[in-house]
A and B are shown apart, each in its own frame.
Chain A
């Protein structure tokens, strides 16, 4: 046995090191504690700790990476069982997940020239605990991560979908200071200052057992209570317990949770217990029988570390005065021969055993057969599946192969990721190296603008393109809304403005700019707008002005409502471009004794001087809209005049509505929608000269002092009305009623609003729901609240016929149902997609929904269900039916 206290493993000024964990593949060790002004995590090279020659070799890096991101002391660091991730928890109430990136070495800014040989990046920050996080544990299959906190709870995180929570274990009435998983996967145990140790079932996350007897006399004198479960699953060993007035570590047997043994000997409270992850064996000379046992190390406030074998009544070794202060954490290497411990005194110690003293480790297959003997089945320990349930048995062969496939894929991925080894000189990273295409290519420009306040606004140059997130992959947007350009546009741009074509094409829905301002009484606003237009490059202007029609045979993207009906001063000419054509409206162009005339002129191109056609109206024009086919002008005298674009001929006689029009818009075909000042909607189909909507009032929508902020015709030819408070409605012609699409004020929407952000904001429904509040999801609400929200989203997507969104929300609903139930709802969805199995003669049900094939959707839904073991029977049932109907 060799004991080493590596002097270089320190966090600045001897600050306490609260946690130590050896990487499961060896090579690295992580420490967590204080450093700088906050928390610090350091990843060290293991070789210089184990090997003196390496320690003295200057070419061997000692520190691999230092992360100062935790704002307060780091209480625990834990590698995942596969070793690809590192989790850390601290006094800043956060759990962070770290991953190695391929960026290579860099200096640590502000640390006086320290070099990070590797770059570990925080990929997730889990912010749900209301108090310091004291302990962490990865489940044996790495699908879950448990965090124990001062807030009296243990949170189980879904490691596949951070920051999703699988469960919050509530029950402790004091700070939870330690957490450990049953290696068999059936339980998780936690120890708390409330003088109890609790065992929870992983099947339903309910409490299985509470042990208090041995802890009654314990006082809360330790920073942590890191308990541990033996690798054979038979024993759970607690941290600080009391027996007969002396500190012990209580042994709790799995069988009946009996507590009749304990480890005695430490003079002060035991802070941490850690089992060697191996099951060991020793061949006793002269006896044919091999003995199998486990080995555990414990550290105490009495500054000593002891190592025990379950086959021996006395400790294998006790190392006294190893530290100057309390031991805080212990870790075993996966080969089972090295133990590292850390202490409040800011140092770590490494104890190296040889095989003779510890024993021979059982091979994986021996271990598996041992488990099978003990627990009747082999463990699916590497199952990277969020729905893994310890007691789940795969029942049919098809699913088994599906599971294997899934595992293989995951394993493959893991293998790709985990091939990290530390070479002697400088570690080579083979992880996620940036693809050659994505080489840093800074455009050496920063865009500077000046804000109205006079301050500069700098758009920094992006050094590294981030791979687009999967949320963007949701189909092509059909409605393009310009969100940002107009509001913050500078009037004077001082420095090089980088603009490219892609940028310009996104602003296609910007509308009218008055080109000629004849009237002397031009409002200030108008002047500003003109300047705005002139400041833009000439090429962009046309794009800017695109309103109804896109040149060529592209479909019309969006209608635009040209004239502000209330503010238009008389006698002003307003020009509007209609794709390739230009319309010019001049109110009060001719004054006759009986009144003023208004003129509409249509020019073939933007630059044409003489109109293709012109027409006069005897009343002032309030608003105009034009599509590829028709020009619609609404006048002060309540008339609606419709002309053909190409000839100027009247398509319909002047229609008379009951009030001044406030807004007019047209669909890309032949529908025309007019909203009056008093809030009545008219909609006509011009081609057939029929009315679709007649005097439908939207006044009942205008509660809470909201006003109408927009009205349009959707791609499905339904009127859509948006209100100033973010609500959006559509009117269903068949149901003859309003349908709510977005309601930021609705409490259900509030609870689910954050989910709506996962969809590209340009999609039809998402564009209407831009004002959905982003509120962190509230766990206290019943699961069904989220379900209700999801179902509303599905229904709204159908209304808008937005297939991309429909699929997104449908799958989200299925995923939610698979986790929280109830089963009837999943069945309903599946039945619906499956359609009737026996079609009775003539009745044909549609095989499509929102333009998507139901069969394809069903296939996708089934693929999701396939990965969730608890639902295997459901999967089988429907997969069989699906197979039948597919013929």
Chain B
């Protein structure tokens, strides 16, 4: 079973202007101490048509993680507008928060986003090219879509295991010139 359970995500600063950073306050619980860091990624789906337009807004390592409940703020800059297809700029899209352990994704949370012009006039007649400074981003915070994946939480098989060399004494340098007789 997953060693990390997601307890809650609070969407901060929502709705907000398009150019504001994304801010998620993530609470998770860990049932035993993790040997490695978790990697969290925030992905902005630029276009529903293809993954090609997905933008990884940020990716952070979170650790060390002892047993217990933890909370952190995941903040990332808004997407690069140049990489968003014009047709998909306004309207509904998705931001994904995914978490990986040992490069394996075990949870993915999707939020719908509605990008809309604040001005009703512009809503009626959207300008081309889009004027992102007039756009308001509204994240549908109440309905996250959570997908869990089964991953291997344990250490890799002993065969693949390479012992990490940590000397007994950090300060004495390895006597590398010594040869095996």
A interface residues (Cβ-Cβ under 8 A, vs B): 36-38, 68-72, 92, 94, 96, 106-107, 109-110, 112-113, 122, 125, 127, 442, 446, 451, 455-466, 481-483, 486, 509-512, 558, 560-562, 564-567, 662-663, 665, 675, 677-679, 699-700, 702-703, 705-712, 720, 722, 724-726, 728, 744, 750, 767-768, 770-771, 773-776
Partner of B145, one of A110, A663, A710: A110
Chain B 37-72 interface 0/1 with A at a Cβ cutoff of 8 Å (1 = within)? 100000000000000000000111111111111111
B residues 1-43 with Cβ under 8 Å of A?
1-2, 5-9, 27, 31, 37
Q: Specify which chain A residues have a CB less than 8 angstroms from the CB of B61 in the assembled complex.
A: 451, 455-458
Partner of B171, one of A69, A70, A511: A511
Other contacts beyond A464-B69, A465-B68, A708-B178: 12, CB < 8 A: A36-B146, A107-B8, A110-B109, A457-B61, A462-B69, A466-B68, A702-B180, A705-B180, A707-B174, A707-B178, A771-B163, A771-B164
A residues in contact with B125, CB < 8 Å: none
**For residue B161, which residue of chain A has the nearest CB?**
A773
Whether B168 pairs with A462 at a CB distance below 8 angstroms is no
Q: Closest B-chain residue to A111, C-beta based?
A: B146
For A770, the chain B residues whose CB sits under 8 A away are 166
Q: How far is the CB of A481 from chain B (nearest CB, A)?
A: 7
Query: In the complex the two chains form, is A460's CB within 8 Å of B70's CB?
Result: yes
Q: Is the CB of A483 within 8 A of B166?
A: yes
- Which one of A70, A459, A706, A712 has the highest number of Cβ atoms from chain B below 10 Å of its Cβ? A459
Q: Which of B118-176 contact A (CB under 8 A)?
A: 142-150, 154-155, 158, 161, 163-176
Which residues of the other chain, B, contact A456 by a CB distance below 8 angstroms? 58, 60-61
Q: Are B171 and A560 in contact (CB under 8 A)?
A: yes
Closest residue of chain B to A94 (Cβ to Cβ) is B1
A706 to B176, CA, bound (A): 9
Given contacts A69-B5, A483-B166, contact A113 B60 (CB under 8 A): no
**Contact A106 B170, beta carbon cutoff 8 Å:** no
List of B residues within 8 angstroms of A446 by Cβ: 72-73
Residues of B whose CB lies within 8 Å of any CB of A are 1-2, 5-9, 27, 31, 37, 58-74, 109, 142-150, 154-155, 158, 161, 163-181
Give, as a whole number of angstroms, the nearest-CB distance from B37 to chain A: 7
- B168: chain A residues within 8 A (beta carbon): 481, 709-710, 712, 720, 722, 728, 767-768
Task: Looking at the assembled complex, report how far the CB atom of B24 sits from the nearest CB atom of chain A, in whole angstroms.
Answer: 12
Q: Which residues of A contact B173 (CB under 8 A)?
A: 564-567
Known: A37-B147, A662-B178, A774-B155. A710 touches B172 (CB 8 A): yes
Alpha-carbon gap, A80 to B119, bound state (A): 61
8 of the cross-chain contacts (CB-CB < 8 Å) are A107-B8, A110-B6, A110-B146, A112-B142, A458-B62, A675-B175, A722-B167, A750-B158
Complex A-B, nearest 6 residue pairs according to Cβ-Cβ distance, in ascending order: A110-B146, A722-B168, A709-B167, A710-B168, A460-B72, A710-B169
- Whether the Cβ atoms of B62 and A460 lie closer than 8 Å is yes
Q: Is the CB of B72 within 8 A of A461?
A: yes
Task: Kindly identify which residue among A451, A466, A767 contacts B66, using a CB–CB cutoff of 8 Å.
Answer: A466
Bound complex: CA of A458 vs CA of B161, how far in Å?
27
The smallest beta-carbon distance between B85 and chain A, in angstroms, is 28
User: Could you tell me the distance between the alpha carbons of A122 and B164 in the complex, rounded to whole angstroms?
Assistant: 32
How close is A722's CB to chain B, nearest CB, in angstroms? Answer: 4
Q: How far is the CA of A808 from the CA of B149 in the complex (A)?
A: 39
In the complex the two chains form, what is the Cα distance from A771 to B162 in whole Å? 10
Expressed in whole angstroms, the minimum distance between the Cβ of A532 and any Cβ of chain B is 13
**Residue of B7, B147, B164, B173 ringed by the most chain A CB atoms within 10 A:** B173
Contacts of A720 in B (CB 8 A): 168
B74: chain A residues at CB < 8 Å are 458
Complex: chain A residue closest to B164, CB-CB: A771
- Please, how many angstroms separate the alpha-carbon atoms of A771 and B177 in the complex? 23
Interface centre among B6, B71, B154 (most CB of A within 10 A): B71
Q: How far is the CB of A821 from chain B (nearest CB, A)?
A: 28
Contacts of A711 in B (CB 8 A): 169, 172
Q: Please report whether the interface of chain B is mostly helix, strand, loop or mixed according to DSSP.
A: loop
Alpha-carbon gap, A509 to B168, bound state (A) = 11
Picked from A109, A512, A702, the residue with its CB within 8 Å of the CB of B178 is A702
B181 touches A722 (CB 8 A): no
**Across the interface, which residues of A come within 8 angstroms of B165, CB to CB?**
709, 724-726, 771
Contacts between chains A and B (CB distance < 8 A), count: 188
A92 touches B1 (CB 8 A): yes
- The smallest C-beta distance from B12 to any residue of chain A, in angstroms, reads 14
Question: Are B176 and A707 neighbours in the complex by a CB distance under 8 Å?
Answer: yes
Q: Identify which of A70, A109, A567 contacts B146 (C-beta below 8 A).
A: A109
Contact A560 B169 (CB under 8 A): yes
- Measured between C-beta atoms, what is the minimum distance from A115 to chain B in Å? 13
Give chain B residues whose Cβ lies under 8 Å from the Cβ of A699: 178, 180-181
Chain B residues whose CB sits within 8 angstroms of the CB of A69 once the complex forms: 1-2, 5
Q: How far is the CB of A101 from chain B (nearest CB, A)?
A: 11
B71:A442 contact, CB within 8 angstroms: yes
Name the one of A109, A481, A725, A775 contacting B144, with C-beta atoms under 8 angstroms: A109
Report how far A712 CA is from B167 CA in the complex, Å: 12
Q: How far is the CB of A133 from chain B (nearest CB, A)?
A: 12
Q: Report chain A residues within 8 Å CB of B64.
A: 459
Q: Write out the residue numbers on chain B whose beta carbons fall within 8 Å of the beta carbon of A709.
A: 165, 167-169, 172, 174
Contacting pair A663 B66 (CB below 8 A) = no
Across the interface, do B71 and A461 meet the contact criterion of CB distance under 8 Å? yes
Q: What's the Cα separation between A464 and B65 when bound, in Å?
A: 12
Given A70-B1, A679-B178, A457 and B169 contact (CB-CB distance below 8 Å) = no
Task: Report chain A residues within 8 Å CB of B109.
Answer: 110
Given known contacts A481-B170, A705-B180, is B67 in contact with A466 (CB within 8 Å)?
A: yes
Q: Find out whether the CB atom of B175 lies under 8 angstroms from the CB atom of A463.
A: no
Our pick among A71, A744, A768 for the contact of B150 (Cβ within 8 Å) is A71
CB distance from B96 to the nearest CB of A (A): 13
Report A237 CB to chain B, min CB distance, Å. Answer: 33
Q: How far is it, in angstroms, between the C-alpha of A726 and the C-alpha of B166 when the chains are bound?
A: 8
By beta carbon, the residue of chain A nearest B107 is A110
| Docked pose: A566 CA to B177 CA in angstroms | 9
CB distance from A641 to the nearest CB of B (A): 20
How far apart are the CA atoms of A603 and B69 in the complex, in Å? 49
B87 to chain A, nearest CB (A): 30
* A458/B72 contact (C-beta < 8 A), A113-B142, A750-B158, A773-B161 known: yes
Nearest to B144 among chain A residues (CB) is A110
| Bound: A122/B3 CA distance, A | 10
Residues on B with beta carbons closer than 8 Å to the beta carbon of A460: 62, 65, 70-72
- Please name the residue on chain B nearest to A103 by beta carbon: B69
- Which residue of chain A lies nearest to B169 when distances are taken between CB atoms in the complex? A710
Which residue of A71, A446, A699, A710 has the most chain B CB atoms within 10 A of its CB atom?
A710
- A868 to B48 CA separation, bound complex (whole angstroms): 64
Q: Which B-chain residue is minimally distant from A442 (CB atoms)? A: B71
Q: Please name all residues of chain A whose beta carbon is closer than 8 Å to the beta carbon of B9 when the two chains form the complex.
A: 109
**Interface-central residue, A110, A722, A768, by most chain B CB under 10 Å:** A110
- In the complex formed, the residue of A with least CB distance to B167 is A709
A378 to chain B, nearest CB (A): 40
Within the assembled complex, what's the spacing in Å between the Cα atoms of A450 and B142?
Answer: 32
Contacting A71 at CB < 8 Å: which of B69, B148, B170?
B148
What is the CA–CA distance of A72 and B149 in the complex, to the nearest angstrom? 10
**In the complex, A36→B147 CA distance in Å?**
9
- Whose C-beta in chain B lies nearest to the C-beta of A487? B166
Minimum CB–CB distance from A706 to chain B (whole Å) comes to 8
A337 vs B158: C-alpha distance when bound (angstroms): 54
CA distance A94 to B5 in the complex (A): 16
* Minimum distance in angstroms from A573 CB to a CB of chain B: 18
CB neighbours of B31 from chain A (8 A): 122, 125
A457 touches B158 (CB 8 A): no
When A481-B170, A564-B173 are in contact, do A96 and B63 touch as well, CB less than 8 Å? no
In the assembled complex, the Cα of A187 lies from the Cα of B128 at a distance in Å of 79
A38-B148, A71-B148 known; A455+B60 contact, CB < 8 A? yes
Q: A663-B175, A710-B167 are in contact. Are A109 and B63 (CB under 8 A)?
A: no
Partner of A561, one of B68, B148, B172: B172
B2's nearest neighbour on chain A, judged by CB, is A69
